[in-house]
Structure 1
Amino acid sequence: MESNQSIENNKTLKLNTKNTLYIGCAFFSILMLWQMYNNYCPLFLDYLLRKKYGESNEFIIGIIMAGDNALAIFMLPLFGSLSDKTNCKYGKRMPYIVIGMILSALFFPLIAIMFYIESLLGVIIMMAVILIIMNMYRNPAVALMPDVTPKPLRSKANGIINFVGYLGAILAGGLALFLKIAKDSSITNWEPTNKGNAILAFCIASFFMILAMLLLIFKINENKLLKENQEDIEYGEKLSETLGEVSENKPLSKADKKNFIVLLIGVLLWFMSFNAIETFNSLFCKKILGDEGIASTIVIILTISSILTFLLAANLPSKIGRKNTVLIGIAALAIGFVIILLYFFFNGVFNEEYHQLIEKNNNQLPFSVIPIYICIALCGAGWALINANSYPMMVEMSSRNNIGKYTGYYYTISMVAQTITPILVGIIMYKSESSLKLLYIYSAILMILAFLSMLFFKEKKHQKILSKKGLDALDVD
């Protein structure tokens, strides 16, 4: 301990924010593509199913849309381990990232083209092709950051990576907002009025994907970064927060194995909780609240509050520890969901007479939405705290040579959660639309269970890590 302390007194860890921003370009393209995929593809499927079979089927659409999660369960661990073992002059992650981004940019517009020519089979096939390509490089894209970042700085770096990624999601949301394929896609038998907008939106997304890839290629030399940061990375290993020693050929200690299982359970529960809201809240707002416009505002507030939290709370884990930061995030989400649920209950949203009241009120909600938006902002902040710190907690248990493997564990369990939830909630909805009233109860209970599970995670007594402060910490020369 004394030797570690003496090192700490003489060495200052610093995060190269500029390089971290460039590394985030890969995550930018991933979140942008997923957001585009989730915004447009359900509409494509809804229209083409109705055109071919006379009616749409939300359950079938849900199954098709869950295909990305099912593929990811198998592909993420595979390509994580493959990239761990890759060794070439371009690095072990960059070959997968660059090839994946090029192929994604080339094939992505074909989904919109298949919709334009009204080929249901073509849309489904191209969706599958894109999912396969994306899952080939998603794990390496995420694992690149911890590869070149010392362990104590990974939460701050992951916050920056998520910040860049969310900018991609905002871009995709803007494209969906301004390049609509129908005047009103909320009505049952809507018809596309401008299918060309879909092709334009997908081509713009591909252009930004290529731009992000070029920035990554010209600004990030993976092998050079590893060499430059080797001393800091080795120092970071000595400050690892694992309870036992971690090495490539040595199994985790009993205490760390328990932490590993606890963390996986926590990830499963909070992703099941959040994904339910993410997937079905627009339907909840339309069919239960009677105002679907609230759903888009909720997405905007969630995104903005998350981005602000990534920036403003970057140093919080270094002060109170990652576990406590994650617990605060889970608590914020659980409290937000419970307050929203109670607010709906006391304003009669779940009463049978509620929709009659809206009609009498000229289709205006009979209560203020401001408290809902405040709670959603709290939830967005909580979600950012969880995302910025839970992945670094997972790869903390990895050695420098198997980061991709542990990245695979993290994203596989999150995908399992996001596969289970749409199917579970979809089955409940299939029985009765009124069952949507249970949405926030479902999410609140799972988030509370996630909080309780993470109480069993044992973190090494928090030690303050010496790092640069203020403008010096940015290291952007």
Structure 2
Amino acid sequence: MKLFYRIEVNMNKQLKLNYKNTFFIGLAFFAILMLWQVYNTYCPLILTDLLASTFGDDADRLTYVVGIIMAMDNLVALIIMPIFGTLSDKTNTRWGKRMPYILIGMLASALVFPFIAVFFIMDSLLGVIIIMGLVLIIMQGYRNPAVALMPDVTPKPLRSTANGIINLVGYIGAIIAGALAMVFKKNDANPNNLVYLWPFIISSVCMLAAMIILKIKINEPKLLAETKDDVELGEKLSQSIEEIKEDKPLSKKDFTNLIVILIAVFFWFMAFNAIETFNSVFCRKILGDEGIHGTFTIILTVSSIISFILFSSVANKIGRKWTIVIGLLLLIVGIGLMTLITFILKDVITSYVWVIYLFTVLIGIGWALVNINSYPMIVEMSNKTNVGKFTGYYYTASMIAQTATPILVGLIMSFNQAGLKLLYLYSFITMILALLVFIFVVERRDLNKKKEKKSILENLGDVDD
């Protein structure tokens, strides 16, 4: 099996990507996605139960309160992320500039995370809210440096490949979280709140294991030294419309592209995060089984991984822009069909869960094509001194969306008779808006040249989050 993926630069020089190191860097993303998925699965359920125990029958009209609580945590994270992105750009320690934030953040997250379930068992709404906020502050504090580490040590033409590997590692964490949601669920046979403690503990243990491996395997200063020449060469091979210089601002065309992409990112995260936030509650109240959300998560994740292999050549042939457009169209179709079945088969929907799983496959493929190509489009406009800042732009746009959308969709569902049935309709509309904005991105035509056929492993890396 080939260990390196190569791009021909000229007769005398090749760029190489080390799959092994990229995999280990991806362990930080593995931990983030796993904890994030457990958080998004259980926290809305926990908040819903705590509100019900406090307000009784009126809790159904308090869906927006769940959204507000989730959004306030994201609002705090929105402030933290750019700060730590810029701070890590300027950090210089014997561990490197990203690794101190990554390791400390992973350790702190793992120690604090289980207390969300502990306070739920204690029936403390305030305690749950405080710990949720603390967890998100810690996680967002190290998320930006974790994402920025890959571009620091990877030449620009190889970042799509590296990003695909990192996403693959991260999605393994999401699959584990989905399996936990299938196993550890409340129902008539097991109504005890204690069942929610286990997924939080297991996630924390996995995060600690990932942190230890990452510390042992990744020496950031050494990697920076080894990849210095290739990264500098990659600056000249950038996919930005014009070469980005350290002392020169973005060109007008690249600046316009940056703004358009960030607005599109905002809208598609508005759509997707609405589902992430309320889908577990949707499965409990509309489908009658919160465990279905776990199956939904696994299908969504596995279909995304499979799409890495089956559709990896699309970005090489038609460019990132049109790959993302195809992904958005698949998302619109999948979410649109979910909306139709929710309303048309509203009385017998529990008998058609398998149909929902088929639609989930479309959503998973579409989200993979969108998500894994968008971040590299942003950092292509950066230079080696401000990768963290541009990473902050990307995640700031996504976090603004994730701050606004739980409140907005929560209000819509709380004060409309259709309630949770409006969830997918909301996502359908906002995803269409994302497509209408993104279509205005201008991509360099010379990027769409035909490339040589590669092995499955190489194609897997070609798909770029």
- Same-fold status (TM-score > 0.5): yes
Q: Map of 1:272-421 to 2, 5 A cutoff?
A: 272-284=270-282, 295-342=293-340, 348-349=344-345, 355=347, 358=348, 365=351, 368=352, 370-421=354-405
Q: Deviations over 1:350-409 (max 9, x none)?
A: xxxx53xx4xxxx863xx555543332122111001111100000111111111111111
Per the normalisation by structure 1, the TM-score is 0.86
**Distance of 1:364 and 1:267 partners within structure 2:** 33
**Correspondence for 2:237:** 239
**Gap change, CA 1:254 and 1:108, over 3 Å in 2:** same
**Distance of 2:32 and 2:289 partners within structure 1:** 30
**Correspondence for 2:125:** 120
**Distance of 1:439 and 1:340 partners within structure 2:** 10
CA contact (8 A) 1:269 1:447 kept: yes
**Correspondence for 2:214:** 216
Shift of 1:261: 0.7
**Correspondence for 1:263:** 261
Q: Deviations over 1:112-163 (max 9, x none)?
A: 2223333332222222221211111010011111111111111221121111
CA contact (8 A) 2:182 2:295 kept: no
Secondary structure in 1 aligned to 2:445?
coil
**Correspondence for 1:188:** none
**Correspondence for 1:14:** 16
**Distance of 2:220 and 2:451 partners within structure 1:** 26
**Distance of 1:411 and 1:470 partners within structure 2:** 32
Shift of 1:435: 5.0
Shift of 1:454: 1.8
Q: Deviations over 1:295-339 (max 9, x none)?
A: 444333211101212344444423322112111111211222334
**Distance of 2:338 and 2:290 partners within structure 1:** 16
Secondary structure in 2 aligned to 1:14?
strand
CA contact (8 A) 2:244 2:250 kept: yes
Q: Give the AA of the match of 1:330.
A: L
**Distance of 2:172 and 2:212 partners within structure 1:** 17
Shift of 1:218: 0.8
Match of 1:442 among 415, 426, 437: 426
CA contact (8 A) 2:75 2:399 kept: yes
CA contact (8 A) 2:41 2:276 kept: no
**Gap change, CA 1:244 and 1:168, over 3 Å in 2:** same
CA contact (8 A) 1:91 1:222 kept: yes
**Gap change, CA 1:279 and 1:260, over 3 Å in 2:** same
**Correspondence for 1:458:** 442
- Structure 1, 463-472 or 401-410: larger mean CA deviation: 463-472
Match of 2:416 among 432, 436, 460: 432
Secondary structure in 2 aligned to 1:433?
coil
**Distance of 2:36 and 2:274 partners within structure 1:** 17
Shift of 1:83: 0.5
**Correspondence for 1:183:** 187
RMSD, aligned CA: 2.8
- Structure 1, 457-466 or 302-311: larger mean CA deviation: 457-466
Report whether the alignment pairs 1:230 with 2:228. Answer: yes
CA contact (8 A) 1:31 1:168 kept: yes
Report whether the alignment pairs 1:70 with 2:75. Answer: yes
**Correspondence for 1:169:** 174
**Distance of 1:468 and 1:232 partners within structure 2:** 23
CA contact (8 A) 1:150 1:235 kept: yes
* Rg comparison, structure with higher value: 1
**Distance of 1:385 and 1:442 partners within structure 2:** 21
CA contact (8 A) 1:15 1:473 kept: no
Q: Give the AA of the match of 2:41.
A: N
Q: Deviations over 1:229-271 (max 9, x none)?
A: 1222122111111112212321100000110111011101111
Secondary structure in 1 aligned to 2:14?
coil
CA contact (8 A) 1:262 1:454 kept: yes
**Gap change, CA 1:6 and 1:167, over 3 Å in 2:** closer
**Gap change, CA 1:215 and 1:323, over 3 Å in 2:** same
**Correspondence for 2:43:** 41
CA contact (8 A) 1:163 1:307 kept: yes
* Structure 2 spans left out of the alignment, 5+ residues: 1-6
CA contact (8 A) 1:288 1:437 kept: yes
**Gap change, CA 1:428 and 1:364, over 3 Å in 2:** closer
- Structure 1, 51-60 or 69-78: larger mean CA deviation: 51-60
CA contact (8 A) 1:273 1:442 kept: yes
**Distance of 1:344 and 1:47 partners within structure 2:** 24
**Distance of 2:238 and 2:458 partners within structure 1:** 20
**Gap change, CA 1:8 and 1:327, over 3 Å in 2:** farther
Q: Give the AA of the match of 1:44.
A: I
**Distance of 1:6 and 1:310 partners within structure 2:** 23
**Distance of 2:284 and 2:28 partners within structure 1:** 34
Match of 1:160 among 160, 165, 176: 165
**Distance of 1:377 and 1:297 partners within structure 2:** 12
Shift of 1:18: 1.1
Report whether the alignment pairs 1:470 with 2:455. Answer: yes
CA contact (8 A) 1:11 1:466 kept: no
Q: Give the AA of the match of 2:146.
A: A
CA contact (8 A) 1:156 1:314 kept: no
**Correspondence for 2:135:** 130
Secondary structure in 2 aligned to 1:399?
coil
Secondary structure in 2 aligned to 1:152?
helix
Give the number of aligned pairs: 450
CA contact (8 A) 2:241 2:254 kept: yes
* Structure 1 spans left out of the alignment, 5+ residues: 186-190
CA contact (8 A) 1:12 1:466 kept: no
Per the normalisation by structure 2, the TM-score is 0.88
**Gap change, CA 1:9 and 1:316, over 3 Å in 2:** farther
**Distance of 2:84 and 2:169 partners within structure 1:** 23
- Where in structure 1 do 4 or more consecutive aligned residues deviate above 6 Å? 289-293, 465-468
**Correspondence for 1:27:** 29
**Gap change, CA 1:458 and 1:246, over 3 Å in 2:** same
Q: Deviations over 1:71-109 (max 9, x none)?
A: 221111111000011112211100000011111112222
